[in-house]
Amino acid sequence: MSKPAIMRQMPQIAHVDVNCFYASAERAFDPSLEGRPLVVLSNNDGCAVTRSPEAKALGISTGDPWFKLAPRAKEWGLVAKSSNYELYGDISSRVMELLGRYSAWLEVYSIDEAFLGVKGEPEQLLALGRRIKEAVRRHVGVPVCVGIAPTKTLAKLCNKWAKNNPAFGGVCHWDSVPWQQRESLMDRLSVEEVWGIAGRLTKRLNVLGIFTVLDLVRADPVVIRDKFSVIVMRTVLELRGTPCIPMEEERIGRDQLIFSRSFAKPVTTVAGLRQVLSIYGQQASARLSKHGLQAKVLTAFAATSPFRQHEQAYPSVCVSLPMPTADPLLLARAAHALLPGIRDGLQYAKAGIMLTDLRPTGNQSPLKLFENRHEERGIGPLLEDVSRKFGRGSIGLGQAGIKTGLDWTMKRDMRSPRYTTHWDELPLVRAA
Amino acid sequence: MGVVVGPRVIDAGASLFSVLISPVAVAAGFPSPAQDYFDGRIDLNAYLIKDITSTFVVRVTGDSMEGAGISDGDELIVNRALEPKDGSVVIAVLDGELTVKRLRLTASGVVLQAENPKYPDINVTALSELTIWGVATRCLHHV
């Protein structure tokens, strides 16, 4: 099916995501994990949230509780790691910085995936996808797959194909796949694999005889709208190549919240960015509160426009908060750690903050008062200094002390070093 | 023109090498002749890190690279984006471990060379069989 040149020049969307992100981040610094079954555990070492392909092959599912896996770990050669959000946050911001160099139109969708607006002939887009894949692997050390298509839903679908079909070599471009092959691929994929179709919807779609992606493509969008919602209709239209889901700039996921904006006019001063980061801190705080969450790790970043001809910079910092918080002041202050990396005079096109290591707020409201009062007296930084020198849990405030072992301290018995954010935990290289 | 004088708290999560070169103290009421020349402090990030996305810091254990001026406990700045060349000090993956060696690309094959006579060279048939993790660009030697 050949389209007129003008059609092919329409902007397309590249969806880039890191393969088994947490496991890949662990492997980037510990090559002994390569080829072994590996799971990364959720907060408090509860259950498996990321599985290496080898762990998937053992039949381990996402959400399998660790206490059930642990007895068989030795027999399987299974390695488990506690979540290392400091490491994942830093690796994520490196990946996003790198992706930002390929397009000014970047939506950081989650800690490990992003949408990029791209333009070009099919061969150029395929080559771009391969360049991106190679650059992330080489610069940051984690593998990614790339899906490129006219809509977000199709880009996600292409990415899935790129991941699951070795013939694509990790990069799949919708327009470059012959129509017959697309049909057979869509016919072989269950409808629940489509972005936006949750498990619950699947059963209702099945009742209508819609089992595969191809069935959904062939469904009448209007009937779908009437039986389901306009949102599901949009998904159908997107699968048919009509863009309906715009690029967004804010998103809350299961374990992270990302808040980023491109500026209408570049921000060129430290003072300007201080203000921007303060606002983001407050907005992120409101978001956290709304979802009953607190964050432990904050990553702040800014980027100059890759399309402008002036000097470019992509500063970012990853800050481990002294305690889980949704306090706007604390979040804004943490975001300000980015400011020493900002240079007056550069034209920053966007900035953002990402909150990771999220956990439910619980019954900690009285503590907020204490937190703030201690903040003013500078006790927070002091505690942090002591903890850094003598280890976590070596010192704590009265209330925090009581909480130890319950809400505050995370069980993270199997956490790898925070290789890129803590000077005392750098990766070791052998000279022997 | 404002000059920031005095200590600054550097957050643990902030850039790895924020170093303060103390600006000249300015006596009140008397303009410092140096004031007009202050052009920002030296930023080690800017000098030592060419690309923030691909640069990592690692710590050395062992003495096999003494001859290259790399001692036990030193930190190395490693750029993953650089192309390893003959003579590069590289971080290679050997037996599931990160190992620092001098890379030699010879007519008879690839050699990972230690810089200490106590340690033997390691021969690899081809560069493609070797995983190079990154290329060391600087050694932060403890004096």
Q: For A157-212, write each residue's pLDDT tens digit.
A: 999 999 999 999 999 999 999 999 999 999 999 999 999 887 778 999 999 999 99
Residue A420 to residue B9, Cβ atoms within 8 A: no
**Distant-in-sequence, close-in-space partners of A109: CB < 8 Å, separation ≥ 6:** A15, A115, A251, A258
Backbone angles phi, psi at A231, to 5 degrees: -70, -40
Window from A295-299, B62-66, B98-102 with minimum mean pLDDT:
A295-299
What's chain A's average pLDDT? 84
Confidence (pTM): 0.73
Of B15, B70, B93, the CB nearest to A317: B15
Higher pLDDT, A21 or A4: A21
Is the Cα dihedral B19, A387, A50, A43 positive or negative?
negative
Three-state DSSP state, A1: coil
Residue B13 to residue A320, Cβ atoms within 8 A: yes
The amino acid present at A47, given as its one-letter code, is C
- Quickly state the pLDDT bin for A394 (edges 50, 70, 90): low
Angstrom distances, CA of residue A378 to CA of A336, A371, A393, A397, B29 = 16, 10, 18, 13, 33
Residues of B in contact with A388 (CB under 8 A): 12
- A24-37 average pLDDT score: 96
Of B8, B54, B97, the CB nearest to A139: B54
- CA dist., res. A86 & res. A321, Å (int): 10
% of residues, chain A, pLDDT over 90: 51
Backbone angles phi, psi at A148, to 5 degrees: -125, 130
Evaluate if residue B30 carries a pLDDT over 50: yes
* Nearest of B36, B15, B10 to residue B24 by alpha carbon: B36
- CA dist., res. A336 & res. A300, Å (int): 8
Angstrom distances, CA of residue A321 to CA of A85, A108, A140, B61 = 11, 22, 24, 30
Interface predicted TM-score of the whole assembly (ipTM), two decimals: 0.77
Catalytic residue among B54, B101, B108, B128: B101
Residue B62 to residue A94, Cβ atoms within 8 A: no
The amino acid present at B118, given as its one-letter code, is K
**Is B64 an annotated catalytic residue?**
yes
